[in-house]
Structure 1
Amino acid sequence: MKIPREQVCVLIPTLNEEPTIGIIILKFLEIGYSDILVIDGNSIDKTREIASASGATVIVQEGKGKGSAFIQAIKHIKKPYIILIDGDNTYDPEQADALISPLLSGYDQTIGNRLCGTNTSAFHRLNLLGNRILNWLFKVSHGRYLYDILTGYRAFTLESLQRMRLYEEGFGIETEISAEAVRNDDRVAIIPVTYGERVGSDTKLDPIHDGLKIGRTIYRLAKLNNPLFYFGIIGLSFLIAGGVIGIYIIIDWLKNIDHIPLTILAVTLIIVGVQIIMFGIQSDIQLANQREFLHEVRKLRKER
């Protein structure tokens, strides 16, 4: 299948990528990808100058964070296909065709899966473990396993990108993109890609701090894709708290000690927990109906 490279916009968010940005742009140009958009987060080195001199269109980011850069860049993209790639030269531009190819066959999004083959040697053990845990958490909370939700190498159709409701300003943007793919019931292709060690600049990710933030983002976004899981966790917490207090009361009651206030609290927690779980069930039913409705709308659009 011939790849229409002239119909593809290569989007590269950058922040202090002076050692690598020129290399990436030149590689894409050599392959035949001529529309390269660099959105720079106010780098203090020569990233913008090198990107512009190498042949890319450069936009200075208005806000802060990778998410803000991605959201801002969407407004400037007109081509029907988009490649998103990090500017640190850890991904291979030669694999861009492999990411675009599924989009030509009807897929909405392609994920470049780093967590395969010999790529694991490029990860610190803590980062690799964190990635696997977050992917598992995403599967549990969103009901879909996407292999590598934090990858920085993806491809989209413009239509699928414009359907997304994106708000995350920082590194949580990859998680939000994955959650939106689930919410919109997008067809997502998983393509293995090579992943190299970062050279010339330090990573901007803190494994513990950013890992916890991404975990919270996964859980928070679950209320749109899996409300039963989201509200179920809250309801279960109330049920457990009420149950623990109830067990304590029963044990003490057997010793003839009266705990009326605690009894009221235990019953209240249990009732609240059950109600929240029931709310989650109702929300889950409504979400299923909404997805069915959207599926029928898209089906009718394709038939027209």
Structure 2
Amino acid sequence: MDFSKDDVCVLIPTLNEKATIGSVIEELQAEGYHQILVVDGHSTDGTPEIAEKLGATVMTQKGKGKGAAMIEAFETITAPYILMLDGDGTNPPEYADAMMEPLVRGRADHVIGNRLNQYERGALTRLNLWGNRLMNTLFKWAHGVYMTDILSGYRAFTLDSVRQMNLKEAGFEIETEISSAVIHRGLRFEVVPTYYKKRPGSPTKLHPIRDGYKILRAINKYGKMNNPLFHFSVIGVLMGIAGFCLGLYVLFEWLAGIEHLFMGILTMLLIITGILTFMIGFISDMILGYHRELMREMRILRTKLEEIEKNE
């Protein structure tokens, strides 16, 4: 590729990755990437020392969690491009050029490395695959866009796109927030096929139940902002169906000579609230569409102003 790899900061969040961090850094350097930033979450196994010895810049994070490490790193990085991968050896550095290609060619602002189609035997269990595919499907329903692998830790960014994301999540739900921010900000993204290797070091730090719940909560939380029509229409339709079913019961009972005054009132409340909730989603979707169009026009205007400044 016709670009300087010195313009890329490789970001590696770590926590007790002694068994793999050395090989990850060496492989990146062999690929020509020498600006490597390791953000360590207070490892106790010597991970930071290994990284420093190999020439990487090491920063100890102040907060706790992968998301917190990434957010702290983004605040310090000044390189125009950022490549992020895990320090556990699961993301092969030989895919680094493929990950960077859409960014340097100007086709995308964000790149996601898809792990789910090619992976080493034993790297992903059936539960892992089922969980990832479920999360991707739910994300599509909530946001209206299918991003293939929203939980991938192998990603690439332009610095400008990172500055627009305004990230806040401290834990593993950070990937979900990033994917949501890409849609919300109207950023261009591409999905690049990669390979997922079996974790040779310490066991995974992802707790399937606790972190799975947090990711589901994040999908719902950010889905309301990116696709309000879907979110509110589902609630509205469910309430309307409940009211309709309850209304049928009240009607049949009334025809049999039995009155249910409070059930009748509840029926009307459910139906009216369902209609109002659907209308809220419809109006919110219109406002969001206007906001996205305004942001698009602002980006075009900013690009034109930058071109004028360069020509001057």
User: Normalized against structure 1, the TM-score is what?
Assistant: 0.96
> Which residue pairs with 1:273 in the alignment?
274
1:224 offset after TM fit, Å? 1.2
1:188 aligns with 2:189: yes
C-alpha distance in structure 1 between counterparts of 2:121 and 2:193, whole Å: 12
1:113-152 per-position Cα deviation (integer Å, ceiling 9, x unaligned): 1111355752100110111111111112111111111111
CA distance in 1, matches of 2:236, 2:15: 42
User: How many residue pairs are counted as aligned between the two chains?
Assistant: 304
Aligned to 1:75: 75
Distance of 1:260 and 1:143 partners within structure 2 = 41
Question: Could you tell me which residue of structure 2 aligns to residue 257 of structure 1?
Answer: 258
User: How far does residue 208 in structure 1 lie from its aligned partner after superposition?
Assistant: 3.3
Cα shift at 1:188: 0.7
After superposition, where does 1:94-243 map in structure 2 within 5 Å? 94-106=94-106, 107-118=108-119, 122-243=123-244
Distance 1:178 1:25 in 2: 26
Structure 2 unmatched runs, 5+: 306-312
User: Contact conserved, 2:118 with 2:194, CA < 8 A, in 1?
Assistant: no
Deviations 1:224-248 (A, max 9, x none): 1101112223223322332332232
Q: Which residue of 2 aligns with 1:52?
A: 52
Are the equivalent residues in 2 in contact too, given 1:3–1:100 (CA < 8 A)?
Answer: no
**SS in structure 1 at match of 2:192:** strand
- The answer as to whether partners of 2:21 and 2:47 remain within 8 angstroms in 1 is yes
SS in 2 for 1:74: helix
Give, as a single letter, the amino acid of the residue that structure 1 aligns with 2:183: V
Shift of 1:40: 1.1
Residue in structure 1 matched with residue 284 of structure 2 by the alignment:
283
Q: Is the 8 A contact 2:113 2:152 kept in 1?
A: yes
CA distance in 1, matches of 2:17, 2:237: 46
Q: Find the counterpart in structure 2 of residue 20 from structure 1.
A: 20
Computed over aligned residues only, the root mean square deviation of the Cα atoms, in angstroms, reads 1.5
Percent identical: 50
Structure 2 counterpart of 1:67, which letter? G
2:212 alignment partner AA: G
Classify 1:115/1:68 alpha carbon distance in 2 versus 1 (closer, same or farther; 3 Å).
same
Cα offsets for 1:177-232 (capped at 9, x unmatched): 00111111111111100111111210112223322321221111011110111222
Structure 1's unaligned 5+ residue stretches are: none
- Asked whether 1:31 is paired with 2:13, we answer no
> How far did residue 102 of structure 1 move?
0.8
Query: CA–CA distance in 1 between the matches of 2:299 and 2:97?
Result: 27
Q: Give secondary structure in 2 for the equivalent of 1:111.
A: strand
Stretch of structure 1 that moved more, 226-235 or 169-178:
226-235
Letter in 1 for 2:16: N
Decide which moves more: 150-159 or 253-262: 253-262
Q: Distance in 1 between matches of 2:195 and 2:142?
A: 28
Partner Cα separation in structure 1 for residue 71 and residue 252 of structure 2:
56
Where 2:239 maps in the other structure, the secondary structure is: helix
Q: Would the aligned equivalents of 1:120 and 1:128 in 2 still touch at CA under 8 Å?
A: no
- Of residues 154-163 and 251-260 in structure 1, the stretch that sits farther from structure 2 once superposed is 251-260
One-letter amino acid matched to 1:189: E
SS at match of 2:257: coil
Match of 2:86 in 1: 86
Q: Which amino acid is the alignment partner of residue 69 of structure 2?
A: A
Matches of 2:156 and 2:121 in 1, distance apart? 22
Query: Contact 1:92 / 1:194 at 8 angstroms: preserved in 2?
Result: yes
Report what 1:246 is aligned to: 247
With normalisation by structure 2, the TM-score equals 0.93
Q: Find the aligned partners of 2:24 and 2:119 in 1 and give their Cα distance.
A: 22
**Does the CA contact (< 8 Å) of 2:28 and 2:93 recur in 1?**
yes
